[in-house]
A and B are shown apart, each in its own frame.
Chain A
């Protein structure tokens, strides 16, 4: 089976006033269909940049990236992925339902199909009663769920998520993590998830990519041995703790040369 997403010796150098910055250096990675991959590392390690490269929001300066066997640009034009940003990014003048319809209007779905999908995804993120509410009427966690619903409504089989729960408190975060795992299992999407929380990465992922800054690169690649069925208390198991330790050691070794 050919990989869903494949990156070969990807480099990305930003030119800044202080000279060139290596955001990504020689990144090689294969992601298979149905994987839940977390990217973890300190800020500046290029995890978000890599996700943006996959989304064709940044162009790499070297190497090749293929999504479904084509370039990120073509993948984007064929709407191969949904993207969830750090902030909800809901348009304040649109109700939640209308926000979710935004991508559907752009693809040009029929009105009927649009409302069907809105109903379906709102149910997935447990926001059925909020279709006609406006973003400011929702809490931060609910807004982020709405933005996930918007990405899901797009119904692409790849979901790119850039620290979607970074700004939320622990309790809401746990809840959303559980929901996200459920979603992943029921929809069998391929998910790339950027985070800087070790428990979040270990709890969610089938594969964990540990990254390090200056230059941004991959320093460890962990295949999770946890079962697919993951209650919240799996985080107290010894297996979970040993994977967390490996991630932590990777992060530490990435810092040690400074």
Chain B
């Protein structure tokens, strides 16, 4: 209950600041327009004008909200104007990329933990890979894959997985190495094989680390999918909405796509958090 109240207070404060900022950013245009029409604007008219422009520098919250309403509830989800349609496009490549990235990350972590050569060699490369700006490498990936005939969802998913594998590697390496000495010693006295040690001890022990990484990974995946839609001039997906919005100065469209992306990210992380809670409780690890 208290957390609900505090969340509402914070959101309320943000919206309040947002309205103030809309007034100050959009007033120049409103005054300009009035001057050209030879009108004098009172304070009240000025404020109302800044909150209802067609292409404001900063759209007011209710403008974004009504745009969101119009493009989700009032549109069929098969329509190209439906934000749900665009969200699904982005979400599907996010999920595929998340799957690829997570699998790759877990496999690399297993290799690093079990093989000294991989331990020495893979980690520096994994770190180096993350120092390259994704915006620089995303067009290359799309162009290269396109030239070998891979198009559509997969190139975007690969950009997602490029961002997503890293937190999984780091988390899982730590997680797979986290069993207590006594637990490892116990398996040693049973003369357990490495595979048995992995399945019966290392993997279960790494679960809290895995979930922490997955939460970071899935939001990185979403960012990757959106970034992957920008350089291709894609016509579908949240990234495409952002791009189209910026071409035509449709700030309301940009902001509603941004809010949508944020909600999708929150939902994805929320689902993982719930899964984490249930799973770790069942495993007695909370």
Binding site for B on A (CB under 8 A): 55-57, 76-77, 79, 81-83, 85-87, 89, 91-93, 102-103, 105-107, 134-136, 154
Quick one: closest B residue to A81, CB to CB?
B189
CB pair A87 B182 closer than 8 Å: yes
B196: CB under 8 A from chain A? yes
CB pair A83 B189 closer than 8 Å: yes
A135 to B185, CA, bound (A): 19
- Say which size band chain B's interface belongs to: 10 to 19
CB pair A79 B204 closer than 8 Å: no
CB pair B283 A93 closer than 8 Å: yes
Other-chain contact of B186, A89, A92, A105 (Cβ < 8 Å): A89
CB pair A89 B183 closer than 8 Å: yes
Given known pairs A91-B204, A135-B284, the reply for A85 and B185 (CB within 8 Å) is: yes
CB pair A106 B283 closer than 8 Å: no
A91 to B185, CA, bound (A): 13
In chain B between 217 and 236, which residues have their CB closer than 8 angstroms to a CB of chain A? none
CB pair A93 B191 closer than 8 Å: no
Interface SS of chain B: helix, strand, loop or mixed?
Answer: helix
CB pair A106 B190 closer than 8 Å: yes
B128 shortest CB reach to chain A, Å: 33
A85 proximity list for chain B (CB < 8 A): 182, 185-186
B200: CB under 8 A from chain A? yes
B14: CB under 8 A from chain A? no
* 5 A-B pairs whose Cβ atoms sit less than 8 Å apart in the complex: A89-B180, A89-B186, A91-B200, A107-B190, A136-B284
B187: CB under 8 A from chain A? yes
CB pair A91 B188 closer than 8 Å: no
A77 to B191, CA, bound (A): 6
Ranked 9 nearest A-B pairs via Cβ? A92-B284, A93-B283, A83-B189, A89-B182, A106-B190, A103-B190, A106-B192, A77-B191, A93-B204
Given known pairs A106-B192, A106-B196, the reply for A93 and B285 (CB within 8 Å) is: yes
A84 shortest CB reach to chain B, Å: 10
B191 proximity list for chain A (CB < 8 A): 76-77, 79, 106
